[in-house]
C-alpha cells in the first residue's frame, strides 16, 4: 500500500490575499511550500490536492477556468520537480449538501481506493476547520498550517499537529 499527503489548495499551497475578489488563485506560496513538498515526496509519499471550489456552483467561474488554475499550479510545482499525483475538487456550494465538499470525505476516500493508500500512514494538511475535519473524518492524521487562514482556526480545531507552513512538515512527518 502507498502512503499519501492530501493537501488543501487555497491558503495551504497558494496565496489567498486577494480573496474574495480573486478566486481561486494559482499564486504559489513558494517560500512556504517548495522545500516541504520536496521533503514529503522524498519520503515516499504520494501528493494529492483536495479542494472545495464552490465558485463554479455560485456562477463566478466556469469549470474550465478552475481546471486551468489547477493545471497552472501543478505545472509550477512540476517545474520545481514536485509531482502532484492527482487533484480533485468539489464544485458545489454548501447548500447542495453533497458528500464531496470538505469536511465530507468522498473525494479523499475515492483517492484512497484508486491509489491504494494506507490511511494509517497518511496525512491531511490544510489551513481551515473543514480541512482538518475532513482529514479526521477520513481517518487521516491532520496538520494545520498557519498560512492562509490557519491562525483563525488554531484555537477552534484540534489537529494532530500545528506547523508554521508546509516547509515545517519535517517537524512532524516521519
**152, 111 Cβ separation under 8 angstroms:** no
31 part of the active site: no
Is 10 considered catalytic here?
yes
Whole-angstrom Cα distance, residue 9 to residue 52?
A: 9
C-alpha cell at 77: 510545482
Whole-number Å distance between alpha carbons of 5 and 28: 18
Catalytic residue among 10, 15, 127, 131: 10
Burial 112-149 (b: 16+ CB within 10 A, else e): beeeebebeebbbbbbbbbbbbbbbbbebbbbbbbbbb
Which strand (E) or helix (H) includes residue 63? helix 63-78
What's the total number of domains in the chain?
1
- Tens of pLDDT along 3-61? 999 999 999 999 988 776 777 788 899 999 999 999 999 999 999 999 999 999 999 89
* CATH number of the CATH domain containing 144: 3.40.50.1000
| pLDDT over 90 at 94, yes or no | no
Look-up: residue for cell 478552475? 66
pLDDT higher than 90, residue 101: yes
What is the residue whose three cell numbers read 491532520? 142
Catalytic residue among 8, 32, 129, 131: 8
Domain that holds residue 37: 4-171
Question: What gap in Å lies between CA 12 and CA 145, rounded to an integer?
Answer: 7
pLDDT for position 51: 97
- So what's the pLDDT on residue 174? 73
Residues whose CB falls within 8 Å of the CB of residue 4, separated by 6 or more in sequence, listed in order: 45, 46, 47, 48, 85, 111, 112, 115, 117, 122, 123
Element (H, E) at 109: helix 106-114
Question: How far apart are alpha carbons 50 and 103 in whole angstroms?
Answer: 11
CA 50/CA 122 separation, integer angstroms: 14
| pLDDT tens string 142-162 | 999 999 999 999 999 999 999
Asked whether the predicted pLDDT for residue 68 surpasses 90, the reply is: yes
pLDDT of residue 142: 98
Give the per-residue pLDDT at 18.
76
Query: Global pTM?
Result: 0.96
Average pLDDT of the chain is 95
Amino acid at each position: 500500500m502507498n502512503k499519501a499527503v492530501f493537501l488543501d489548495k487555497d491558503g495551504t499551497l497558494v496565496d489567498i490575499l486577494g480573496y474574495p475578489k480573486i478566486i481561486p488563485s494559482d499564486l504559489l506560496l513558494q517560500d512556504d511550500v517548495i522545500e516541504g513538498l520536496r521533503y514529503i515526496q522524498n519520503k515516499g509519499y504520494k501528493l494529492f490536492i483536495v479542494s472545495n471550489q464552490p465558485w463554479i456552483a455560485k456562477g463566478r467561474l466556469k469549470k474550465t477556468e478552475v481546471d486551468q488554475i489547477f493545471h497552472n499550479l501543478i505545472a509550477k510545482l512540476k517545474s520545481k520537480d514536485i509531482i502532484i499525483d492527482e487533484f480533485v475538487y468539489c464544485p458545489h456550494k454548501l447548500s447542495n449538501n453533497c458528500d464531496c465538499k470538505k469536511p465530507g470525505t468522498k473525494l479523499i476516500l475515492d483517492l484512497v481506493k484508486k491509489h491504494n493508500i494506507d490511511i494509517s500512514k497518511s496525512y491531511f494538511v490544510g489551513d481551515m476547520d473543514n480541512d482538518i475535519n475532513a482529514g479526521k473524518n477520513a481517518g487521516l492524521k491532520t496538520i494545520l498550517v498557519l498560512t492562509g487562514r490557519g491562525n483563525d482556526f488554531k484555537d477552534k480545531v484540534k489537529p494532530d499537529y500545528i506547523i508554521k507552513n508546509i516547509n515545517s512538515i519535517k517537524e512532524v512527518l516521519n
